Structure 1
Amino acid sequence: MSDYKFDTLQIHAAAAPDPTTGALQVPIYLTTAYAFKDADHAARLFNLEEVGYIYSRLTNPTVMKLAEKVAVLEGGAGGVACSSGHAAQIMALFPLMGPGLNVVASTRLYGGTITQFSQTIKRFGWSAKFVDFDDLDALEEAIDENTRAIFCESISNPGGYITDIPAVAKLADKAGLPLIVDNTLATPYLCRPIEMGATLVVHSLTKYMTGNGTVTGGCVIDSGKFDWSASDKFPSLSAPEPAYHGLKFHEALGPMAFTFHSIAVGLRDLGMTMNPQGAHYTMMGLETLSLRMDKHVANAKAVAEWLEKDPRIDFVTYAGLESSPWHDRVAKVCPKGAGALFTVAVKGGYEACVKLVNNLKLFSHVANLGDARSLIIHSASTTHRQLTEAQQIAAGAAPNVVRLSIGIENAEDLIADLDQALTAATA
C-alpha cells in the first residue's frame, strides 16, 4: 500500500476485513493462547519456521495489526508494539546492548528518559553518555568502541527542540551504529525519521497516536536497512541464538531480523506486552491522526505567537516561531509543522508558574501530553523533579518554565484562558 498517501494509509493500512467474519474493523482478540493444528505445526511456530500465533505475551492479532499499521506509516520494514513508550525504549536497546556497553543520547530528552538512561539501565550493566546534539563534534567524540546506539527525539519534550536528524544520521552511519529516534511528539505525519537515515523509531503510543488520553502503549519500528552483520557489535542479531538452535536472526530473516528478535526474545523474556483492547483504541485514533495533527499545529502556532508578544512572558520555545533558533529545521525535519508541545517562561518565576497552573480553567493539569485536550504542567516540580536544577535547565524544564501541550479546541478560547490565568499569576 506504499503508493497511497498518508491520509489513506492511516485508515486502510493493515486493516483488511477479517477473513472469517468480514468485520471491517480489526477485532479485539481477547485471548491468551491459540490452538495449534497439530504437533508439527506447534513445532514450526516455536522454531520460527512459520509465522503464526502461540501465546499473547508474544503475539496477538490485534496488537500485531497495530504494529503493522505504524510500520507502514513510518515507512519501516516491521515493528513490535509493547506496553508503553518507556518499554519501547528498553525494547529498542535490548538486542543491541550488553554489560559494559553504552548509548550516546541527546541532553534534550524527556526527564523520565534521562532517568531511565542515567540510572535504571545501570542495573543491566549498560550506560549512557549525554551530549548536546547541536555539537556534532562532541557527539562524534562521545562515540567509543563500546557504543552501540545513538538516541534522540525528533521533537524534544518539553522544549520543542528539533533535532537535525539528517546530520546525526550521517554521523551514526559513519560510525556504523544504529540511530534510534523517538518520534512521539512529531508522529509519522509530521516527521519521517527513517527517510532521513534513522535505523529504529520508537513511540509512546499513549500520546498523539491514540490522541484521547485512554491508552498506555509503545512501539518500535525497524527500518530494515541496517546491516547487523557488518561487524561483531550486535551478536544478538548476527551470531547464533542458543534459544533457537543456533539461528542467526539477520542471516535468516534479513530486514525483519530486529522485529522477529524483539518478538521471539524481547517480548518472550521481558514481557512488555500491549493490551489488545488498548491496541484497538490506538488504531481508532490513528484513523484521524493527520486531521488532528493539522489542528494541533495550527492551534500551537496561534497560541505561541500570542504568548511571545505578551509582556508577562520571558520567552516561548516553540520552533514554529520565526524567532526560534531551530526554526530553520522545521522545513527540513518536520515539514508539516513543529508539533504542538513547547515551554513558556513566566515572569515571576516558580511561584508565578504555580499560580498560572492553578488558575487555568480549560487547560488540564496532568502528567501527559498529546491529548485532544490542552494540557499544562510545571515540569520542574513534577515530570523533571528527579533531576538537578542544571539537568532541568539542560532539558528545557527550568523552575520558571511551564510546558504546554496544545489541543484541538478553539484557539481563541485557549488564548482567553491563558490571558485570565496570567493576570492572576502575575498580579
Structure 2
Amino acid sequence: MTDSTRPHRFATQAIHAGASPDPATGARVQPIYFTNGFVFDSTEQAADIFAVRKTGYSYSRGSNPTVAALERRVAALEGAKAAIAVASGQSAVLLVLMTLLRSGDAYVASPRLFGGSLGLMRRLDGRYDLRPRFAKGMTPEDFEAAITPECRAIVCESIVNPCGYVTDLEGVAAVARRHGLPLVVDNTLASPALIRPIEHGADIVVHSTSKFLGGSGQTIGGVICDAGSFDWVKAGGYDLINGPWPDYDGLVIPERFPETPFAVACRLFGLRDLGPGLSPMNAFLTLTGIETLPLRMERHCANAKAVAAFLKDHPKVAWVSYPGLPGQTGEENARRYTPQGPGSIFTVALKGGEPAALAFIAGLELVSHLVNIGEIKSLAIHPATTTHRQLPDSEKAAAFVGPETVRLSIGLENAEDLIADIAQALDRVD
C-alpha cells in the first residue's frame, strides 16, 4: 500500500505536477492551447475576471492553460506557492526588479552575475534610477555591508554564471531576514533538481527556462516563483504589492491574495501592463523537457566533473573554476548545497591568453560554439567578447571571464568523447 497523503518525490513531480489527463478528451499529454482569447460564459464573468474578483482565462498574454500547467509544475518543483511564466529569463529578472522597486530605490546585488543581468541592471540604473549596490565579495558579510536604507531587496544567483561558484544561500538569507528584505535568487544554473533556494530562505526564485528546465535548446522562456514567505504588509512600502490599484476598483492585493501577493502583482503589472507573455508552444516544450530533468542533471554533473578534472591537470590550462573538484575555490559551499554536484557550467583559463582561448574554441568539433547553456549538447563560448563584453576588465577578472577564459556548458554526451574532443582542440593551441 502507498500513503496517498504523502507529497510525491521530485522525479515524480517533474513528470506529473501541474498537469493531468485532459477532461474533455482524455489526452494524457498536456494540450497546447493555441488561442488568443477565451469565450466568457457571461458579461458578469468577463467583468469579474478583468476586475480580479474571480480568476479565469481571458487573453493568453496574461494566462493560458498550457502556460498555467508549466507555472504549476515549476512552482511544485521549487516548493513555491505560485509561479508566473514569461517570455524569457531576462523578462523574469526585469519584472521582479520593476515590481519591487520604484525610481530612487536601491537593492543589493551579487558582484558575480550573468552578463545579461548586469547589463540590464546598469540600464535600469541609468534610465530609471533603480540602483544596484554590488557587494564587494560573495560572503554574507559582504552582502550585509552593501545594504543602505534605500535598499528594497537582495539579488543573487544560486550557482554563478559562468564560474560555477555556489552561493551561501542560508547565510545571505539570514542577512535579508535581519534587514526585512526579500531575497531574490536566480536558480537557472542549478535548477530545482540541484538546489531549491526556498528551502534555504529565498523569497523569490527566477529561472531562464531556456536552459536546464527545457534542456534541448529549442525554446526561450522564463519563470518567477513566489515562495509566499515574505510578509509584504509588515515590511511596508512596495506600492505595487501593498498599495491600492485604482484601475482594479481599489484592489489591495494582500487582502484578496494573502498567500501570493508578489505573484499576483507580477501578473497584473508584468503580463497585463508590460506584456512579455510566454507562447503556449514554448510552455509545452518546456513541460516536456522538465520530465527528464532529474536524469539529465545527474549526467550533466558527472560529465562536468570528469571534464573539469581533465582540464585541471592539462599543461596548457592555467586554472579551472569548477567547485566540484577537491581544493577548488568554493568547494565547501558546493559540498553543502549541491551534494549531487554543482551543475555543469564552469570556466577554464588558457595559459596562452586570449589567442589560446579563441584557438581552443575554434578547434572544438563535438562541442558547439554557441551562446546558450544548460543544453543536452555541450557548448563553449568566449565570455569576454560576447556575454560579458560590456564589463570593465577589472570586473571581468573578478567574474572569472578574463580574455584567457572559456565558458563550458557540459552536456550529456559520452564523457570520454568530450574529453577526446577537448584534448584534440588543446593540441592545436600554441
- What band does the TM-score fall into relative to the shorter chain? over 0.9
List aligned pairs for 1:178-193, cutoff 5 A. Answer: 178-193=182-197
Partner residue of 1:250? 254
Correspondent of 2:178 among 145, 150, 174: 174
Give the whole-Å Cα distance in 2 for the aligned partners of 1:39 and 1:89.
36
Q: Is 2:404 aligned against 1:409?
A: no
SS at match of 2:259: helix
Partner residue of 2:17? 13
Q: Which amino acid aligns with 1:402?
A: V
List aligned pairs for 1:135-154, cutoff 5 A. Answer: 135-154=139-158
Correspondent of 1:72 among 66, 70, 76: 76
Displacement after TM superposition at 1:111 (Å): 1.0
Correspondent of 1:353 among 352, 357, 369: 357
Partner residue of 1:203? 207
Partner residue of 1:27? 31
Displacement after TM superposition at 1:308 (Å): 0.8
Partner residue of 1:225? 229
Displacement after TM superposition at 1:178 (Å): 0.5
Correspondent of 2:45 among 23, 36, 41: 41
Q: Is 2:98 aligned against 1:94?
A: yes
Give the whole-Å Cα distance in 2 for the aligned partners of 1:392 and 1:124.
25
Give the whole-Å Cα distance in 2 for the aligned partners of 1:178 and 1:18.
37
Give the whole-Å Cα distance in 1 for the aligned partners of 2:53 and 2:33.
24
Correspondent of 2:304 among 292, 300, 307: 300
Identity %: 44
SS at match of 1:34: coil
Tell me if the contact between 1:189 and 1:336 (Cα under 8 Å) persists in the aligned partners.
no
Tell me if the contact between 2:165 and 2:334 (Cα under 8 Å) persists in the aligned partners.
no
CA-to-partner distance for each residue in 1:64-92, whole Å, 9 max, x for gaps?
11011000000000000000000000111
Count, aligned residues:
426
Partner residue of 1:372? 376
Displacement after TM superposition at 1:345 (Å): 0.7
Query: 326-335 or 152-161: which moved more?
Result: 326-335
Give the whole-Å Cα distance in 2 for the aligned partners of 1:60 and 1:161.
36
CA-to-partner distance for each residue in 1:130-164, whole Å, 9 max, x for gaps?
11442433321211121111100000111001100
Tell me if the contact between 2:94 and 2:120 (Cα under 8 Å) persists in the aligned partners.
no
Partner residue of 2:217? 213
Tell me if the contact between 2:244 and 2:250 (Cα under 8 Å) persists in the aligned partners.
yes
Tell me if the contact between 1:2 and 1:72 (Cα under 8 Å) persists in the aligned partners.
no
Displacement after TM superposition at 1:391 (Å): 1.5
Partner residue of 1:388? 392
Q: Which amino acid aligns with 1:370?
A: G
Displacement after TM superposition at 1:42 (Å): 0.7
Q: Which amino acid aligns with 1:255?
A: E
Q: Which amino acid aligns with 1:82?
A: V
Q: Is 2:302 aligned against 1:291?
A: no
Displacement after TM superposition at 1:121 (Å): 4.5
Displacement after TM superposition at 1:123 (Å): 2.0
Give the whole-Å Cα distance in 2 for the aligned partners of 1:125 and 1:23.
49
Partner residue of 2:67? 63
Tell me if the contact between 1:356 and 1:422 (Cα under 8 Å) persists in the aligned partners.
yes
List aligned pairs for 1:337-352, cutoff 5 A. Answer: 337-352=341-356
What is the TM-score normalised by the length of structure 2? 0.97
Give the whole-Å Cα distance in 2 for the aligned partners of 1:72 and 1:360.
39
Correspondent of 1:264 among 264, 268, 273: 268
CA-to-partner distance for each residue in 1:44-83, whole Å, 9 max, x for gaps?
1112121110111111111111011000000000000000
Pairwise CA RMSD: 1.2
Partner residue of 2:242? 238
Give the whole-Å Cα distance in 2 for the aligned partners of 1:252 and 1:143.
32
Give the whole-Å Cα distance in 1 for the aligned partners of 2:145 and 2:416.
47
Give the whole-Å Cα distance in 2 for the aligned partners of 1:335 and 1:4.
21
SS at match of 1:425: coil
Query: 337-346 or 230-239: which moved more?
Result: 230-239
Tell me if the contact between 2:188 and 2:207 (Cα under 8 Å) persists in the aligned partners.
yes
Partner residue of 2:131? 127
Q: Which amino acid aligns with 1:315?
A: W
SS at match of 1:373: coil
Tell me if the contact between 2:57 and 2:63 (Cα under 8 Å) persists in the aligned partners.
yes
Give the whole-Å Cα distance in 2 for the aligned partners of 1:208 and 1:139.
28
Tell me if the contact between 1:241 and 1:247 (Cα under 8 Å) persists in the aligned partners.
yes
Give the whole-Å Cα distance in 2 for the aligned partners of 1:204 and 1:132.
26
Give the whole-Å Cα distance in 2 for the aligned partners of 1:223 and 1:136.
21
Q: Which amino acid aligns with 2:219?
A: V
Give the whole-Å Cα distance in 2 for the aligned partners of 1:295 and 1:137.
35
Tell me if the contact between 1:183 and 1:203 (Cα under 8 Å) persists in the aligned partners.
yes
Q: Is 2:192 aligned against 1:162?
A: no
Partner residue of 2:114? 110
Q: Which amino acid aligns with 2:164?
A: G
Segments of 5+ residues of structure 2 without an aligned counterpart are none
SS at match of 1:94: helix
SS at match of 1:403: strand
SS at match of 1:31: coil
Give the whole-Å Cα distance in 2 for the aligned partners of 1:382 and 1:125.
26
Displacement after TM superposition at 1:20 (Å): 1.0
CA-to-partner distance for each residue in 1:394-416, whole Å, 9 max, x for gaps?
22211111000000000000001
CA-to-partner distance for each residue in 1:97-117, whole Å, 9 max, x for gaps?
001001210011011111111
Displacement after TM superposition at 1:4 (Å): 0.9
Partner residue of 2:280? 276
Displacement after TM superposition at 1:120 (Å): 3.5
Give the whole-Å Cα distance in 2 for the aligned partners of 1:216 and 1:37.
33
Correspondent of 1:52 among 53, 56, 67: 56
Structure 1's 133 and 230: CA in aligned 2 closer, same or farther, altered over 3 A? farther
